[in-house]
Chain A
């Protein structure tokens, strides 16, 4: 069913929010994803993805303080909700499970 599964980008955003811990708002999330993945991330994409995550109940948000470079406007900070954490853990579990079943020979000789 729609909404239970995490999309790849959604998972990325969710993980970033978790890693930024309390200072996650759209611009910082953008920057962080760009830093880690080295790919250009559009604000619009992050924004709509945050909106989706919030609709699904995977993240919670609240407004923070005003800053001057934002023309006196407040930031909306995001944190991962309980459901979000469960979803992330579930995703990780699935992955770990798959990783554990891969025989060593498959990755022989490859280093990241």
Chain B
């Protein structure tokens, strides 16, 4: 090996090891002239050493790394361009003046930082929330080509108000697969598989779906073992997640093991996949092959399965070819709809294509596969957040404009020295950005305080609200944006100041075309506060109203226990021995808490049918819940082998079919879903649905097979040990499923948690708005008191009382708040009366109490704030304030 022999420009190309040229170039580019030669020399020396010791490629690598590593403050060139760029050098100066000005006005800076931080914490919450929602389903490799078919159904009972469904019928899958091109894969599955899965001695309850075999061809779930293309192709096969595998098989390899589902069907495990990521809208513990289910549905030869209206439980997903235009598929779907709708006049169906990314967040559809979020909710919360943010920005704007007189001289001098308007503008915007960045740090802290509260509002199965590294960039960008918005107006005002005027007589500067603007901003802030407080009050009242609503039957001291597939009679006899249990009834579901079951009801005219709501109950139900029987009696005890003979109806049924008085109706025979039953009792109307809906025709039936709950009337001084005793009994009968009992009243509260959430969100925003506007008001009050201190002192010397002075100083503010009240009250009233509560059948009437509350609270807080400052100014000793002139 020959070494380098002197001058680099020798004509002979000597084969010597050379460091990478571009690394050299890099070094030469950034390194200062006076340091370059010996530094590069050193690196060459080491390079040659390394060539000998470690080989050429390693040496070149090390040379490159060193060249990069020597990029340090003392080695880099002073950039010539920077020297010429005045504004960059000025940047340093801006920074310095800004930081100094922020540090000097401690009160104002902290008011601004705190106000911004409070509102930005909600902004951060929104950023995390929306980013997380938008990341849904983006991990699928073919996501851009995945669509699903959604449906609408308009039948006789919901004319004019079609149901919009995320589900669709198997018919569509068949049709698309057979008759149309452009689709690479069609996936058909049935959602909500749930069962007790047994392997050996272990039994666990698992949730999942009956999944079509193209699932893993379309979606990119992480398959750990098994053949993705075929593992769901055979009947009685199942794919489980890793967590499930661990629970069920421990260390064993689950592949090809046979599990028993619900004690009867045997399934072979053909695959194991990683748990579906949180941001997948399809969640499962187990997937059972759809073909198993399909065979079951079609084996009796009935055509029900392939009916177009069989659209409540099935989902169809499509993987389109690369070059297929989705509108082409939509045309196919429209065509299918047209054909189908022509066949019947009893319903009208619609099928639409929806892209994978539009599922979460998405439209408000029923029958969703997994958790989702309505896009409108995002808009609403986002809008409210934006308004609160704006309010905090206004604080900054207001205070800065108010105090801008003090900076006028600085601006004057800058202008004399040659600053352009744009540069001054930049300076003041920068100042706002510095503040908002400081606020960001505080806001992040606040975010962690409000995060658990936010998650507790039943959305923790949709989002986890964890900050990912990339969000930090969003936050910084967001806070800079906030800074720019907040600083825009003050910067505009200050940069407008004429240099001569500012220097000659700053006191007479008329930059306050801003006075009116400031008032408008304050009025806006307080309008917002009042509106939010009123909103929170109304939603709280409505919640209380809903929970305490007189349903027409008794819910007190009733404990509902889910049967979970156990025999109702067995559970009943076991529970009846527990002391404290006074009576037991059985029912299909819990009334008044959101569930509605339906059936078709006819009387004497076979063509006149209605869809009635119903519940299946036993002989004790009516009595236990204190329903008021207007005529007839409760059910007699019924044995499962007898025919179902009786129903109990409410008054509305009588009215609907003109059956006369309750007494006359007893014994009349009605047609329930095609079976004849006699009315045995008539109950007074009661609220069986949530209070948003009106009362409806309702019947009770007695079908022992349809019991899913037992209702216990309990009376005990020690409910905890009572429930404990019940649980012990439960364990003896069923040791697989956990004992699940809930008081009726708790269930109702839970059902109306939506109102509670409204109250929480609006209440929280109200708190933010009022804090922010009070902070702003405090700032303005301090400023007013400060700048008028001489006037006040002179007035005082001339004989004004403290009360006069306080009145003088607060008059303006009080007027502004009254104005805000005048705007906010009618606005909020209209909003809630006409929009939010307009669809609710049973609602509070918005009265004086609800409306005046907001104005009152806001007024009180504002007055206290202003009073605190004006009082101080009014009490100041005129001798000390007037002395120094």
Contact surface of A with B, Cβ cutoff 8 Å: 25-27, 43-44, 47-48, 51, 63, 67-76
Contact = CB atoms under 8 A, between A and B. Distances in A.
B66 interface: yes
B7 A48 contact: no
Nearest to B24: A71
Contacts of A48: 72, 74
Contact of B48 (A63, A69, A72, A76): A69
A97 to B, nearest CB: 34
Interface in B1-47: 3-8, 37-46
17 contacts: A25-B42, A27-B46, A43-B42, A44-B70, A48-B74, A63-B37, A68-B3, A68-B4, A68-B5, A69-B3, A71-B41, A71-B44, A72-B6, A72-B7, A72-B8, A73-B37, A73-B40
Contacts of B6: 68, 72
B732 interface: no
Contacts of B40: 71, 73
Interface string B385-405: 000000000000000000000
Dominant secondary structure of chain B at its interface with chain A:
helix
B8 A71 contact: yes
B508 interface: no
Contacts of B104: none
A67 B4 CA distance: 10
A75 B38 contact: yes
B69 interface: yes
Contacts of A70: 41-42, 44-45
Interface string B40-58: 1111111010000000000
Contacts of B66: 43-44
Contacts of A44: 66, 69-70
B42 A74 contact: no
B36 to A, nearest CB: 9
B48 A25 contact: no
Contacts of A43: 42-43, 46, 66
A75 B42 CA distance: 8
Contacts of B37: 63, 73-74, 76
B4 A71 contact: yes
Contacts of A72: 6-8
Query: Which has the most chain A C-beta neighbours within 10 Å: B40, B45, B48?
Result: B45
Given A63-B38, A76-B38, A27 B45 contact: yes
Nearest to A46: B42
B45 A47 contact: no
A26 B69 CA distance: 16
Contacts, number: 56
A27 B8 CA distance: 22
Contacts of A76: 37-38
B4 A69 contact: yes
Contacts of B42: 25-27, 43, 47, 70
Given A44-B69, A48-B74, A69 B44 contact: yes
Contacts of B44: 69-71, 73
Given A71-B41, A74-B41, 12 more contacts: A25-B38, A27-B45, A43-B43, A43-B66, A47-B39, A63-B38, A70-B44, A70-B45, A72-B6, A74-B38, A75-B38, A76-B38
A12 to B, nearest CB: 18
Contacts of A47: 39, 42, 70
Nearest to A51: B74
A88 to B, nearest CB: 23
A106 B207 CA distance: 73
A72 B7 CA distance: 7
A26 B37 CA distance: 12
A67 B41 CA distance: 9
Q: Which 6 A-B pairs have the closest CB atoms?
A: A73-B41, A76-B38, A70-B41, A71-B44, A70-B44, A51-B74
Query: Which has the most chain A C-beta neighbours within 10 Å: B41, B44, B72?
Result: B41
A68 B7 CA distance: 9
A47 B44 CA distance: 15
B228 to A, nearest CB: 50
Nearest to B38: A76
B826 to A, nearest CB: 67
Contacts of B5: 68
B74 A69 contact: no
Interface in B250-291: none
A75 B38 CA distance: 5
A68 B39 CA distance: 15
Contacts of A74: 37-38, 41
B17 to A, nearest CB: 11
A77 to B, nearest CB: 9
Nearest to B65: A44
A27 B42 CA distance: 6
Nearest to B72: A48
A48 B39 CA distance: 11
